[in-house]
Structure 1
Amino acid sequence: MKIRKVINNNVVSSQDDNGIEVIVMGKGIGFQKKTGDPIEPEKIDKVFHLSDENSSSFMQLVSDIPYEYIKLSGEIVDMISKDINIKMSKNICITLADHISFAIERQKKGIAFENDLLWEIKRYYKAEFQAGEKALEYIREKTGIVLPEDEAASIAMHILNAESNGQIRKSVNMPEMVKEILNIVKYTLMIDFDEDSISFERFVTHLKFFIQRAVTQKYYETDEQLILFNQVKDTCKEEFNCALKIKAYMEKKTNYKVSDEEILYLTMHINRVKRRSEQV
């Protein structure tokens, strides 16, 4: 392969044997190089294939991330893939590196971070969360930085996105389903969303994982939340009925059996966005 463009000392763009654009990474692979120079095979660490729609944004992202975090991310992805035996999009190496870089800088500055989906991730995606915990331990060993448990949930979310994106894209139109569910809430409760609010962002994130569970047919039936379920059903009647409409929509769309626990958390999220809309 030959260099098409030097992005930085550790990243260059090229083409594979089929003429598809690729990003090639390795320590010093672009140092004192120019367009047309051959790429030294022994310096190649990672090769990423680019699609037309993500080419420029992906290259920009890669150029902004310190190489040591990309290398660290690659090692973590390799470790996770072996541990939980999943097939993930190769691009997780870059998106995870970007997150790790930001998380470490945030921790160094003493900025607190709270992942509001921590409990949900721990409960529904135990293997991915445990992989996230192992990643935090690896980061500590390599950098000396101790990241909070909330970051394990964030890493788990990256894993979930990377392992499920292909399956979801083939099965459903995720953005369209999110939009339709939001419309159910909007027109059932007659509210306007504050789309810049944290509660709205959390709700959309919850919906994405909800849809993912439906597509992958992951079922969670427990009796632990029965008391809370009945309390919420009685105190948030409008939101609960709205959640039942979403249940009917989802079961028709995906043949997924929506559990009472799913309805409980849908109701709670709907209640939050409703209260936020009333404050605007």
Structure 2
Amino acid sequence: MKIKKVLNNNAALASDENGNEIIYTGCGICFQKRPGDELDESKIEKTFVMEKANEQFLKLVSEMPYEEIQVADEIIKYASENLGKRLCNNIYITLTDHLGFAIERSKSGTFLKNKLLWEIKNYYKVEYNLGCHALEIIKDKLGVELPEDEAGFFALHIVNAELDGNIHHTMEAPEIIDDIISIVKYTYKKDLDEDSFSYERFITHLKYFLQRAERNAYYEPQDPGIFEIIMERFPEAYNCATRIKSYMESKYPEKLTDEEMLYLTVHIARITDRD
């Protein structure tokens, strides 16, 4: 396999037999190598398959210390294994880039304040715990101690990769979820059991609900008869869902469908069950 481009001593760009551009990393894999030279496959530690060369990622790999690339990969691999799902490839750019800047800022004692930390800890608990583990990996492998705020930022990158969404929308989502929860609490004049299974399912539903809102891809109406039954059975929950509908339509251009209202109503009825 011939080297197409030397990124640095530890990374090379090459093409496989299908024409896919692949970044190969490994300690000293390109030491004293030039484009056209054979790649020492025994030194390959990690491969990044790309449909086409992503200039931003190529730049990251060529400029960032190899140890930081390895740490970013370990964080992503750990998150993927613990979530039991494959994460969007874009996380290799966003999380790796964020890691590099976080470490640079730490050298001057400059840290970003995460204004969404409370919401992230409460609405993305699994991802937040993965973010905390990321801090442990960074401290163990790089000797850099980052603040808790960074665990929240790493969590958002993981959430974004789970949903294959836009990072800016992902950063807005915790506040929107918080607003929706506040609407429920205000409507029912009660606190919610945040440790209950129903609450956890509602938060999960809201994550994907916001993803559909972002993509203008709400659930299509199915059986209007079922919607009528749910409205009659849970009038207070439906009233609450109507308030959420008004709120969402002030945020997103698409109108909520009856199918979305049905699911919201059922979830609200469950988390506010007075029995």
TMscore range, shorter length? 0.5 to 0.7
Partner residue in 1 for 2:249: 245
- 2: CA distance, partners of 1:253 / 1:61: 45
For the aligned residues, what is the CA RMSD?
Answer: 3.8
- Cα offset, 1:258, TM superposition: 5.8
> What is the distance in 2 between the residues matched to 1:229 and 1:64?
54
Q: Percent identity?
A: 39
Cα deviation for residue 254 of structure 1 reads: 8.4
Mapped partners of 2:45, 2:90: distance in 1: 14
How far apart are 1:246 and its partner, in Å? Answer: 3.4
Structure 2: gaps (5+ residues): 190-243, 266-275
Paired residues of 2:23 and 2:47 also in contact (CA < 8 A): yes
Partner residue in 1 for 2:227: none
Match of 1:110 in 2: 109
Could you say which residue in structure 1 is the equivalent of 2:126? 127
* C-alpha separation in 1, matches of 2:37 and 2:5: 10
- Matches of 2:43 and 2:172, distance apart in 1: 41
Which position in structure 1 is the counterpart of 2:210?
none
1:205 to 166, 171, 179: 171
Specify the code of the residue in structure 2 equivalent to 1:206.
E
Matched with 1:68 is 67
Separation in structure 2 between the aligned mates of residue 163 and residue 131 of structure 1, nearest angstrom: 13
Counterpart of 1:89 in structure 2 is: 88
- Residue 185 of structure 2 corresponds to which residue in structure 1? 226
Residue 105 to residue 247, structure 1, CA distance change in 2 (3 Å)? closer
Q: Contact 1:65–1:97 (CA<8 Å) still a contact in 2?
A: no
- Contact 2:88/2:161 (<8 A) preserved: yes
- Cα-to-partner distance string for 1:240-272 (whole Å, 9 max, x where unaligned): 99735237836239837568xxxxxxxxxxxxx
Q: Which one has a bigger Cα radius of gyration?
A: 2
Please give the alpha-carbon distance, in whole angstroms, between the structure 1 residues aligned to 2:251 and 2:260.
10
SS of the counterpart of 1:139?
helix
Aligned to 2:12: 12
Match of 2:28 in 1: 28
Whether the 8 Å contact between 1:73 and 1:94 is mirrored in structure 2 is no
Task: Pick closer, same or farther for the CA change 1:38–1:208 going to 2, 3 Å.
Answer: farther
Q: Aligned equivalents of 1:26 and 1:112: distance in 2?
A: 31
Distance 1:85 1:204, change over 3 A: closer
Whether the 8 Å contact between 1:23 and 1:47 is mirrored in structure 2 is yes
Once residues 175 and 183 of structure 2 are traced to their aligned partners in structure 1, the CA distance between those partners, rounded to angstroms, is 21
C-alpha displacement of 1:84: 2.7
- How far apart are the structure 1 equivalents of 2:100 and 2:187? 38
- Cα displacement (A) at 1:91: 4.5
> Residue 4 of structure 1 contacts residue 36 of structure 1 at CA under 8 Å; is this kept in 2?
yes
CA shift in 2, pair 1:34/1:116, >3 Å: same
Distance in 1 between residues matched to 2:245 and 2:257, nearest whole Å: 17
Distance 1:253 1:74 in 2: 42
Alignment of 1:38-187 (within 5 A): 38-52=38-52, 55-165=54-164
- 1:153-200 deviation per Cα after TM superposition (whole angstroms, max 9, x unaligned): 1111111122221xx6xxxxx79xxxxxxxxxxxxxxxxxxxxxxxxx
Change over 3 Å in CA distance of 1:208–1:246 after alignment to 2: farther
TM-score with structure 2 setting the length: 0.64
Shift of 1:114: 0.8
- Post-superposition shift, 1:70? 0.2
**Number of residue pairs aligned between Structure 1 and Structure 2:** 211
Moved more, 139-148 or 86-95: 86-95
Question: Secondary structure of the residue that 1:4 maps to in structure 2?
Answer: strand
